[in-house]
Structure 1
């Protein structure tokens, strides 16, 4: 390690550097550890204090004798935050936030501090999800966050809430710019977007007070004008742009099977690579068609080319399909084979040979134009591995049902009715049960045969005339990326419980989870490791705070070979050993 000077334009800079051997190039390369700034503007006193601290670190004083060792103040995990911060800056999210133009009168917000607090909250969701009060304590004492100490002396709960409120206020602009940054820098393909929704419930007995909202579920101010044709109670006059009244946390169709609790609905759009490019929040009773209209409107505002939306079987209604096709876009949708629809029955009955596109995926396109009267295309997909699992599961359920009804002919009519009622509470078994005209319980052979015909199969419908059957099937399978995103949101990032009751804070909380998911998915794609492995390995790199008479400094422990490999795979430089220096203040006599 040595000190060197480097010229840039008319200025000369002093740097601390060291050489490393590059086996690929067959020569050494220079890496800058720290820049002391311009040679004509050096902090000479600070450099002297650093030299003194380093001498004492190796047991020498300035005169060459032994001196006091630095006092170790704290040791905190640093590797995870350093990795996330590198990705955050690589995507330009730091300059995006600090570059926001502040308008209006009054005191200007310190955007540098806001950016660091927001990053810390995002890193907290990925590394140690908790309430905002606990997050403030975590970022102050339990983790090393790069550049946080230089912008915020101490972060409290109020600072977290102020940053979240700002995030909520700028969300429409920020989401658009984040999308452009991410898709541009990562060269993401957005010709197909995978969209799905989930819900998250709140442990409270009361829904929020109903407020006037626009088509996107946003609150409309009462002073914005008035109209009398919106969905108001008792002829109540609605503000301009309002379409209905609803609370944000309210009752609706729960995907967590908690219809007894208020909820909000959350939507997410994901690319082919699993990168979440946008997230939305809506009141808990928002219909699917309203969700789709909002998503379509946002995408149209972003001036995207034609998009094909892939969504699950919950979006197959005629109205939803019409919304997805508006503006020239298209869709790939799953169709319920057990719905009894004419399309499903016809698709299963059509003859034809399957085409193998993967070792566990076969596809067959069927022509249903005579039935549907439209140009929609239908693809029957067959997974042999899933067929075996379906058959095994059905056989186990039939065997259990057979055991339950064995000997029931000898029971009284009342006892058989009780057994029938008990089985009716078990949907998996009940669908294979048949009751004879005489009240006897039997296995429904016709039903089991019909179910066997569905083993490993699913039906897709698309409006796109050009995609091959293989592209349609493989595109729909990528919808698993969204489902994986929801699992990570709810488990790894602890989307729930939500420690907020105000709508603005809940929306900001969802945005923080989205940004955290964006960073961890990028880390996973680049390194090939799961986030659990990345977090476990990188958190072994610690930051050590030490004090000397000349000030304090923070140094990193030596990264393990695995940590170095993770940073290299993530296209990030290895963490520098010297993480920060704070010179001692002037003394007074």
Structure 2
């Protein structure tokens, strides 16, 4: 009786092996021995190992031999002589991300860009490890080196130094444009993206430091512009202070990268940088940008459109919120056959907002919480008034709370001296929510303005959209703008799941590279969610990660060499790999018969 291996070749050329318990029987008719299969253990790469071990234990007891229970003796008992179990690390998350990294061709692209340079051959693996770290266990770059060495199995990378990480980040900035373009082309092909809408929004991230960076000369894209000293007169001693004030060619202003500005995190007291992101309607982040912290939002969308102009996007309609609705932006986005869907401030008192609210018409039901109507204001643009009943209820509750607070603050103000009343008026003016409902009488008394409260109530749950596209339906305009929430979800995940901050860097280039790593991690996470949804798997990246990290790889080592074996994947992990069309890790991950070197 013996265990034999039989092999079958599939149509695609791959081979599948099966383990069988067999013995030879004599065939008196044919006068030869024939093999008879007593039991089939199944595919060799999908063995039920615990069941086999239990069978071995039972048989050894029958013959009066007790099986070893643990340690090296256990390894010898199950047929792995000379090996000792030394560690177990999570494999599932890194394995799946590496599969996507390869499917998108990012590894090939980075190696091609690094070819012919003096870059370390493992620079691609180092960058993947840093991206995987953001997606799996966000930490500083120094902590990431320890994570790679001890807490995860990264295919093709056993260890990395912090210097190698910083060198890889510096090089990443040099190839940013080629990388972003190449990655988008691969993603569009993999997901069959129909890029007709591009959503753009900005956020800010602050730094726990009191002092902003020193102002330096920058171009209109916020990039550093260096002085050109090659034509300086060697015989003249120029005044250094005067030279510092002379703008170099291409410079439009001076600003520190980490600067104070209008914080979207309510931290105006700390230096910050501005981060922009373009996203498709499916939530796939196309690219990210960084600007100094005091940069105004309005002109940024023009730069973004120009940088994506040469991409194979076809006709694109840009979707952005009301911070980007300037006339100059609208002209720029509509140029060359493009288009836009932009939010408009209803409370701005603009001519368009006033005209839109004065137009009569019936609302069209789009969904349970959205009604729309198109109003005729301009010959060149279309305007759509949207109404959200749920938001209207929230707006009414917020206003009632503000009016109550305002009335409580001014309830005893008539008894104050004019000077004290003016001081109270100054305090209220710093609170925009309260100030918009305040009225000052000719005699200097403070009152809640009933007319403003009534006018504000008419705007509950409403917002105004404007578009240059003549063919979109009213419903598509409203739903297209509503999908801007995908960008907001991207910011939320980047800050809370991938830990965009705290940023453990102070140099501008390192901060920019850090944002790029976060973008790549978000891209991989979004692709996992998108492909899972097409397979009817409603999952988010954190939920998928919880399942993936239960797939471990165990390492055995000793005089006989090194041996790595993976744990069986759960049904959820199998479904996820099937949805992404990725292969599961093999049962035997490494088998190195050479003597171990560590």
Name 2:7's counterpart in structure 1.
4
Q: Which moved more, 1:453-462 or 1:395-404?
A: 395-404
1:531 corresponding residue in structure 2: 541
For the aligned residue pairs, the C-alpha RMSD in angstroms reads: 3.4
Q: After superposition, where does 1:37-52 map in structure 2 within 5 Å?
A: none
CA separation in 2, counterparts of 1:17 and 1:264? Answer: 59
Secondary structure, aligned partner of 1:219: coil
Question: How much has 1:257 moved relative to structure 2?
Answer: 3.4
TM-score under structure 1 normalisation? Answer: 0.82
Could you give the per-residue CA deviations for residues 524-558 of structure 1, whole angstroms, max 9, x where no partner exists? Answer: 22332122212222222222222243112222222
Q: Secondary structure at the match of 2:89?
A: strand
CA-to-aligned-CA distance 1:211-242 (integer Å, 9 cap, x gap): 44444333344449889xxxx97796555444
Per-residue CA deviation, residues 61-110 of structure 1 (Å, 9 max, x unaligned), is 69xxxx67x42211222222222222222222222222336346xxx434
Q: In 2 relative to 1, CA 569–71 (structure 1 residues): closer, same or farther, beyond 3 Å?
A: same
Using the TM superposition, give the Cα deviation of residue 367 of structure 1 relative to its aligned residue in structure 2, in angstroms: 1.0
Conservation of the 8 A alpha-carbon contact between 1:75 and 1:544: yes
- Provide closer, same or farther for how the CA distance between residues 551 and 132 of structure 1 changes in structure 2, counting only shifts above 3 A: same
Q: CA deviation at 1:412?
A: 6.2
Aligned partner of residue 451 in structure 1, secondary structure: helix
Q: 2:579 aligned to 551, 566, 569, which one?
A: 569
Partner of 1:265: 274
Q: Is the 8 A contact 1:200 1:496 kept in 2?
A: yes
- 2:354 is aligned, of 345, 351, 366, to 345
> Relative to structure 1, is the Cα distance of residues 32 and 291 closer, same or farther in structure 2, using a 3 angstrom cutoff?
farther
Name 2:368's counterpart in structure 1: 359
User: Taking structure 2 as the reference length, what is the TM-score of the superposition?
Assistant: 0.81
2:145 maps to which of 136, 152, 174: 136
> Of 453, 459, 466, which aligns to 2:458?
453
Match of 2:85 among 65, 68, 72: 72
Rate the CA distance shift 1:412–1:237 in 2: closer, same or farther, 3 A: closer
Larger Rg: 2
Q: Residue 543 of structure 1 corresponds to which residue in structure 2?
A: 553
What are the Cα deviations for residues 375-408 of structure 1, in whole angstroms up to 9, with x where unaligned?
A: 0111100111111121222223333444454465
How far apart in 1 are the matches of 2:251 and 2:441? 55
The answer to whether the 8 Å contact 1:216/1:290 transfers is: no
Paired residues for 1:24-39 under 5 Å: none
Paired residues, number: 537
Higher mean C-alpha displacement, 417-426 vs 282-291: 417-426
Structure 2 residue aligned with 1:284, among 286, 293, 296? Answer: 293
Q: 1:226 and 1:260 mapped to 2: Cα distance?
A: 42
Q: Which runs of 5+ in 2 are unaligned?
A: 21-41, 48-70, 233-240, 533-537
Post-superposition CA distance 1:122-163 (Å, at most 9, x none): 1111111111000111111111212223xxxx2110111111
Tell me the residue number matched to 2:588: 578
2:206 paired residue among 190, 201, 225: 201
1:224 touches 1:239 (CA, 8 Å); kept in 2? no
1:293 aligns with 2:302: yes
Q: Which residues of structure 1 form unaligned runs of 5+?
A: 20-28, 35-52
> Judging changes above 3 Å, is the alpha-carbon distance between structure 1 residues 389 and 225 closer, same or farther for their aligned structure 2 residues?
farther
Q: Is the 8 A contact 2:92 2:549 kept in 1?
A: yes
Match of 1:57 among 58, 75, 79: 75
Contact 1:16 1:33 in 2 (8 A): no
